[in-house]
Amino acid sequence: MSEVLVVGSLAYDSVRTPSGKADKSLGGSANYFSVAASLFAKVRVVGVVGEDYLDSDKKILLDRNVDLKGMQTVKGETFHWEGSYEKSLSDAITLKTELNVFAAFNPELPESYKDSRFVFLANIDPVLQLQVLSQAKEPLFVGMDTMNFWIDSKQKDLISVLKKVDIVFMNETEAKMLTQTRNPVTAVKRVAEMGPQYVVVKRGEYGSTLYSKTDGFFQVPALPIEDVIDPTGAGDSFAGGFFGLLASQCTARPTWIDLKRAVLAGTVLSSQTIQDFSLKALLRVDHINYENHLTQLKATISI
Amino acid sequence: MSEVLVVGSLAYDSVRTPSGKADKSLGGSANYFSVAASLFAKVRVVGVVGEDYLDSDKKILLDRNVDLKGMQTVKGETFHWEGSYEKSLSDAITLKTELNVFAAFNPELPESYKDSRFVFLANIDPVLQLQVLSQAKEPLFVGMDTMNFWIDSKQKDLISVLKKVDIVFMNETEAKMLTQTRNPVTAVKRVAEMGPQYVVVKRGEYGSTLYSKTDGFFQVPALPIEDVIDPTGAGDSFAGGFFGLLASQCTARPTWIDLKRAVLAGTVLSSQTIQDFSLKALLRVDHINYENHLTQLKATISI
């Protein structure tokens, strides 16, 4: 088994959806990613929290054997995001972003993290993504996520990160935006031309597509879910399941088959996250119900 | 091999898309369905055309061994639809609907059609769908399509047809509209509760989902296509491929495996239709390139 290093946000989210609301509940890309990935592998977190961050929230990760040596606690308040899915479960409307301690985040890798074989740069400033990557010694496989905000405001830096990663995870609309094309197939190919060997396009309720420059497309629909409560963290849970499975199975560079299996793991975990607020549903996933959901997913897509 | 009977529109379409436009070119659900289905099976058409309908357009079906005994030619002009996909390739905006001879369409089955084992009621007035169905003697498997217009204006009749068919094909937005629910999974289950054993939900560029009351879900993404020229007829080509394959393979009621194979056939044929205006791309599909596209589809979805 290899280790997965993740750098991302540790946050408190206030979310409204058609099912209700959750105020200042645990969130952030690094939390969703770590909980998902830790089902399969040893996870190392790089991030920053304020003095208000609860010990019980740190304990959630510690209980899953996640290494928190890279989690800095600094004076001030934890990153707070407020959003609404009341209009559409497919698109969050951001109501407030309070960066707080995240504004001065200066990610540093503890010595013991530097040999991490798998590295995931969650959706943060591409300048910080580069800073983290430059501290890692010869990682085997590096992934990144990004969002429309960085495509708009820091595209040059974003393109620099794209050149250095093996795989990028993007929403379909973001892939179209970055490549300025309407066709999603053309978009994914153009993203790959910018650097990464592999691209995962996240299509929300329609599932995801993995593209490889050499192996073409692998498309997986989402699990059919009737009770979508809160879509927050679905993408990070996907990436966490994806990287966690890879790290648990690969000591060499992942093969196409490894990556296809990782897409299935990501699909299962993201489908669980959306069934409750915050990390609640994701935390209920254990090895037994993971295997059950995986079997169910396979049944809906096996030809 | 069994025969497939289809009742639907035979039309001239004027279509504008981001790729260009086609004026009064061959269209209509029964044409798309018949061309697709005739790749696999013997097709019988019930429909009406005006005196302006070209012999060369009839010949297209005759050359594919389609039985036109049920095609009435009456005084007046052929049904003409004018639409635009300039804003979005996912949704047609109807600019003009000239029913012409279709307004007084009174579908009658020739004697030789009445023993048809597979029957498809394409998207026409549900009252006419019922009229056709009442003339068929013990069909093995009956399918129907519909659209938002009939859900709005003739919902009671539509529900009567739903009770009598084995499978219904609907767009995802139409399934939500009919069942008044936002969740697509709940929507498909509620459609099935209205009568049909099987429901196919068409999701455009995201593919389709087959639902069975006893076997659950089977989800198939679309083939990744870069050159989407004109989406008109994609749904009818899907249904045609689906029913054509069933008719070619089944002498008894189709099994779950038969239906899954039929979804793949429908997926391949709809993906070809959209790559040119009118029926042009669909007509270029022969057994060899069909098998190639099927292999390609399977490669993108095989786990």
Per-residue pLDDT in tens (0 to 9) along chain A, 303 residues: 789 999 999 999 999 999 999 999 999 999 999 999 999 999 999 999 999 999 999 999 999 999 999 999 999 999 999 999 988 888 899 999 999 999 999 999 999 999 999 999 999 999 999 999 999 999 999 999 999 999 999 999 999 999 999 999 999 999 999 999 999 999 999 999 999 999 999 999 999 999 999 999 999 999 999 999 999 999 999 999 999 999 999 999 999 999 999 999 999 999 999 999 999 999 999 999 999 999 999 999 999
Tens of pLDDT, residues B211-262: 999 999 999 999 999 999 999 999 999 999 999 999 999 999 999 999 999 9
Measured CA to CA, the distance from residue B170 to residue A39 in angstroms comes to 39
Tell me how crowded residue A197 is: count the other CB atoms within 10 A of its CB: 17
Which of B219, B227, B299 is opposite residue A301, by nearest beta carbon?
B219
- Interface A–B counts its CB contacts (< 8 A) at 78
Residue A285: domain span: 3-301
B246, part of any domain = yes
B174, part of any domain = no
B54 pLDDT band (50/70/90 cuts)?
A: very high
Which of B 169-228 lie inside 8 A of A, CB atoms? 182-186, 189, 203, 205-207, 209, 216-221, 224-228
Mutate to test the interface with B, among A171, A200, A300, A302 (most CBs of B within 10 A): A300
B266, part of any domain = yes
Q: What is the pLDDT of residue A291?
A: 98
Q: How many domains does chain A have?
A: 1
Interface touch A217/B224, C-beta < 8 Å: yes
* Angle value at C-alpha B289, between B285 and B292, nearest 5 degrees: 140
Interface touch A206/B203, C-beta < 8 Å: yes
Q: What is the pLDDT of residue A186?
A: 97
Q: Euclidean distance between the first and final Cα of chain A, in Å?
A: 32
How many Å lie between the alpha carbon of B50 and the closest alpha carbon of chain A? 38
DSSP per-residue letters across B66-132: -EEEEEEE-SSPPEEEEEE-SS-TTSPEEEEEE-GGGGG------GGGTT-SEEEE-SS-HHHHHHH
Asked whether residue B1 carries a pLDDT value surpassing 80, the answer given is: no
Please, which contacts does B145-152 make with residues 24 or more away whose CB atoms are closer than 8 Å? B145/B29, B145/B120, B145/B121, B145/B169, B145/B170, B145/B235, B145/B236, B145/B239, B146/B170, B146/B174, B147/B123, B147/B171, B147/B174, B148/B173, B148/B174, B148/B177, B150/B123, B150/B125, B150/B126, B151/B177, B151/B178
Measured CA to CA, the distance from residue B89 to residue B67 in angstroms comes to 33
Measured CA to CA, the distance from residue A171 to residue A188 in angstroms comes to 10
B264, part of any domain = yes
B59, part of any domain = yes
B77, part of any domain = yes
B203 pLDDT band (50/70/90 cuts)?
A: very high
B39, part of any domain = yes
**Residues of chain A neighbouring B299 (CB-CB closer than 8 A):** 216-217
Interface touch A226/B299, C-beta < 8 Å: no
Given CB atoms, is A274 within the 8 Å cutoff of chain B? no
The CATH number given to whatever domain includes residue B67 is: 3.40.1190.20
Measured CA to CA, the distance from residue B9 to residue B14 in angstroms comes to 15
Instruction: Find, among B282, B249, B212, B286, the residue nearest to B35 by Cα.
Output: B282
Which of B218, B225, B300 is opposite residue A218, by nearest beta carbon?
B300
DSSP per-residue letters across B40-80: TSEEEEEEEE-TTS-HHHHHHHHTTT-EEEEEEE-SSPPEE
